[in-house]
Amino acid sequence: MASFQQAFSSVVLVVLAVAILFVTPTFSTSRNAIMKDEKVQKATGFQVTLKHVDSGSNLTKFELLQRAMKRGRQRLNRLSAMALAESDHDVKSSVHPGNGEFLMQLSMGTPSTAYSAIMDTGSDLIWTQCKPCQQCFDQSTPIFDPRKSSSFSTLSCSSSLCEALPMSSCGTDGCEYLYTYGDYSTTQGVMAAETFTFGEVSVPKVAFGCGEDNEGSGFGQGAGLVGLGRGPLSLVSQLDEPKFSYCLTSIDDSSTSTLLMGSLANANNSDTASRTTPLVVNPSQPSFYYLSLEGITVGGTRLPIKKSTFALNSDGSGGIIIDSGTTLTYLEKSAFDLVKKEFTSQMKLPVDKSGTSGLDLCFTLPSDASDIEVPKLVFHFKGADVDLPGENYMIADSSVGLACLAMGSSSGMSIFGNVQQQNYLLLHDLQKETLSFIPTKCNQL
């Protein structure tokens, strides 16, 4: 297990600059950039640009966080409802979380058609809107027309990926699907295989849903969705080397984030600061990336959280997942209450009671503050102590006079959100069943 080095300070320094408080650790951490191997990239791996859904919106970091929080709370509710449905053995859920925070750029077909799709680590199916559309939502790029692609083919009803669908039927065009998301958005159409292009790398015969009837409010951000879950339908599971990693920049960073697939996924895993923890399998929700969280330290205090708090129960309820599509980290209420109490005790600032931020815990900043100290925050995953940089959990804005903890409470399922993941390369290895946290300057990839 990675040890928590007591020699490190229990606080980080928050430096005030412009209108935003930038949080800096009291000790330096290696942030190595990934070196590209062009030969390997062309053969077995590729890199994809990710763009935050609110990119270019001209909002402050605090405003961006508040907007993302609303989407994140809705996603949390959907994820929790799914887990509860599956814990009832009389119910067979075919509902998926949907939506997300990051768009990936890709193209498909021969000749290729470019579009952007939502990246979702909480579901499996890859799909996009297709002509002829019975019901399609507006998208900024042309809708894919399979009749104009020489590499398009439909999947047979006897194919293994057709059988892997939660809901399917056999029609005149082959395997037909219906995929439902937690906000009641749906996509329906025919399962097909097509050549997908990521940058300059083409991957043939990727199975996807060609959606001819797509309804609901959950997809307006992109022209479809790319599932990166653990199930057989996801993009990562369809690759010869089933691993991927992503590296998310800060929510207010104008730089794009990065997704690395296949052999490129672990290009930076020689970093001595890397921390690796096993993935946990939940038979009730096999697509989700569950982790084993054993404890949390605030400052120098290991919190008295019961061992069962983050445990995955035999009925499939509880546990903690890591999710790219949820912004904040949400902890089971009893654990969050302890985190909140300890931050309140250790922070040398008054608690804000106005409730204007929408966050559970905020502090009032001094009007003349140039910097503040915040307690360190360490998540003790099995085999991996992840010591977060201050900016990954304390969001401060001098223009509104607040510093807020980017976390909240949940009931049942807990989620390790994407604010806490920023500037880490998150390596998901589906063969080894592990997740690695690799400190990385994501805006330099």
Give the tens place of pLDDT for each residue, 275-291. Answer: 999 999 999 889 999 99
Strands 11-17 and 384-388: unpaired
Q: In the prediction, which pLDDT does 267 show?
A: 65
Residues 231-246 have pLDDT tens digits of 999 999 998 889 999 9
Nearest-angstrom CA–CA distance, 323 and 415: 7
The percentage of residues in the chain with a pLDDT greater than 90, rounded to a whole number, is 56
Name the least confident of 17-21, 173-177, 297-301.
17-21
Per-residue pLDDT for 27 more than 50? no
DSSP code per residue over 234-279: SHHHHSSS-EEEEEPPPTT-SS-EEEEEETTTTTTTT-TT-EEEE-
- What pLDDT is stored for residue 42 in this prediction? 31
The reported pLDDT for the residue numbered 421 is: 97
Q: Residue 310 pLDDT more than 70?
A: yes
pLDDT value at position 56? 78
The CATH classification number of 96-240 equals: 2.40.70.10
By mean pLDDT, which of 24-33, 53-62, 208-217, 321-330 is the weakest? 24-33
**What's the Cα-to-Cα distance from 152 to each of 112, 116, 144, 165, 194, rounded to whole Å?**
11, 19, 11, 20, 5
CATH number of 267-439: 2.40.70.10
Give tens-digit pLDDT for 400-443: 889 999 999 998 899 999 999 999 999 999 999 999 999 999 99
Point out the residues that are catalytic. 120, 323
Residue 41 has what pLDDT?
31
Please report which confidence band the pLDDT of residue 217 belongs to, taking 50, 70 and 90 as the band edges. Answer: low
pLDDT over 80 at 24, yes or no: no
**Cis bond upstream, residue 111 (ω within 30):** yes
DSSP 390: G
User: What does the pLDDT average to over 159-185?
Assistant: 87
At residue 18, the pLDDT reads 36
What pLDDT shows up at residue 147? 96
The two structure tokens encoding residue 49:
């640009």
Over the stretch 55-102, which tens digit does the pLDDT of each residue have?
878 888 888 888 887 777 767 766 766 555 544 443 333 444 446 789
Mean pLDDT in residue range 121-146 = 91
pLDDT score at 182: 61
**H/E stretch holding 420:** helix 418-421
Any idea which of 141-145, 250-254, 283-287, 393-397 has the lowest mean pLDDT?
250-254
Residue 248 near residue 48 (C-beta atoms within 8 A):
no
pLDDT for 123: 87
- Answer yes or no: is pLDDT of 20 > 60: no
Average pLDDT in the chain: 83
Residue 391 per-residue DSSP state: G
Instruction: Point out the least confidently predicted range of 193-197, 253-257, 327-331.
Output: 253-257
Fold match flag (96-240 vs 267-439): yes
Domain boundaries, the chain: 96-240, 267-439
How deeply is 115 buried, as exposed, middle or buried, from its count of CB atoms within 10 A (0-12, 13-18, 19+)? buried
Tell me the residue ranges of DSSP E strands in 173-216: 174-181, 186-198, 201-215
The tens digit of pLDDT for each residue in 356-408 reads: 888 999 999 988 766 778 999 999 999 999 999 999 999 888 888 899 999 99
pLDDT above 90 for 445: no
232: how many CB neighbours lie within 10 A of its CB?
16
